[in-house]
């Protein structure tokens, strides 16, 4: 079955919603530029699309998606830091007012990390080194439920965000907030990982 035609139908629906009508959103966004309020860090998992989960319009979220919604520590070494470059643009140029890191249940990336910590050999070239970003945070939870490991991964990303000096400066002057979320995709519940944790269902 061809995969592209249904996508093109979807694009027609998108055009009708955002380009036609009396005040098409994209004319405004093209004219005035993007001013997203939130940098949203989510997993690449196909079940956790941030715009769908949080019902936001184009222009609201600047999104970084990667395996296991991880943020590496500040490391200005000239390496190929895709996630850090997106964070830098959102924080220093777009001046978002909050960064939200959202983990989720059934996360394959965190599962790979946990299995690796439990001695299993992960026969992939890039996944193991990438998810090792959260190794220290997740290690104490690698014998517990996957939920605990996934939530520890989110907290690790929040903690790594604070190692970026220009994030720390904006936290200090009160112009930026950091928040952690964890989405249970079987239960349809959202856990806010700020202190104290709260479940929103």
The residue ranges that bind Zn ion (CB under 5 A) are 43, 45, 107, 109
Tokens of 97: 């007012």
* Of residues 90 and 110, the one with the C-beta less far from Zn ion: 110
Q: Which residues pair with 192 in a beta bridge?
A: 181, 198
CB of 19 to Zn ion, least distance (A): 32
Range 46-52, long-range pairs (CB < 8 A, 24+ positions) = 47/104, 47/106, 47/185, 48/102, 48/104, 48/183, 48/185, 50/102
The CB-of-174 to Zn ion minimum distance in angstroms stands at: 31
Question: Which 3 state secondary structure label does DSSP give 158?
Answer: helix
Nearer of residues 116 and 176 to Zn ion, judged by Cβ: 116
What is the smallest separation between the CB atom of 68 and Zn ion, expressed in angstroms?
Answer: 5
Residue 8 makes CB contacts below 8 A (sequence gap 6+) with none
CB of 168 to Zn ion, least distance (A): 27
Strand 98-104 and strand 198-200: pairing?
Answer: unpaired
Q: Which CB, 101 or 176, lies closer to Zn ion? A: 101
Q: Give CA–CA dist 198/195, Å, rounded.
A: 8
* CA 63 to chain centroid: 7
57 or 120: CB nearest Zn ion: 120
Of 41 and 43, the one with the shorter C-beta distance to Zn ion is 43
Question: What is the closest distance, in whole angstroms, from the C-beta atom of residue 64 to Zn ion in the complex?
Answer: 13
């Amino acid at each position: 079955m061809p995969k592209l035609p249904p996508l093109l139908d979807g694009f027609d629906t998108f055009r009708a919603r955002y380009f036609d009508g009396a005040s098409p959103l994209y004319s405004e966004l093209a004219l005035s530029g993007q001013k997203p309020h939130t940098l949203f860090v989510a997993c690449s998992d196909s079940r956790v699309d941030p715009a769908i989960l949080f019902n936001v319009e184009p222009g609201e979220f600047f999104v970084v998606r990667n395996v296991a919604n991880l943020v590496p520590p500040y490391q200005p070494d000239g390496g190929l830091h895709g996630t850090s470059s997106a964070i830098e643009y959102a924080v220093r140029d777009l001046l978002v007012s909050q960064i939200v890191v959202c983990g989720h249940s059934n996360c394959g990336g965190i599962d790979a990390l946990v299995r690796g910590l439990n001695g299993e050999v992960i026969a992939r070239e890039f996944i193991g080194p990438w998810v090792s970003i959260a190794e220290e945070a997740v290690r104490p939870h690698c014998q517990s439920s996957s939920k605990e490991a996934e939530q520890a991964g989110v907290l690790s990303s929040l903690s790594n965000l604070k190692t970026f000096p220009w994030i720390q400066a904006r936290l200090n002057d009160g112009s930026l907030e950091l928040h952690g979320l964890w989405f249970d995709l079987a239960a349809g519940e959202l856990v806010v990982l700020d202190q104290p944790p709260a479940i929103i269902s």
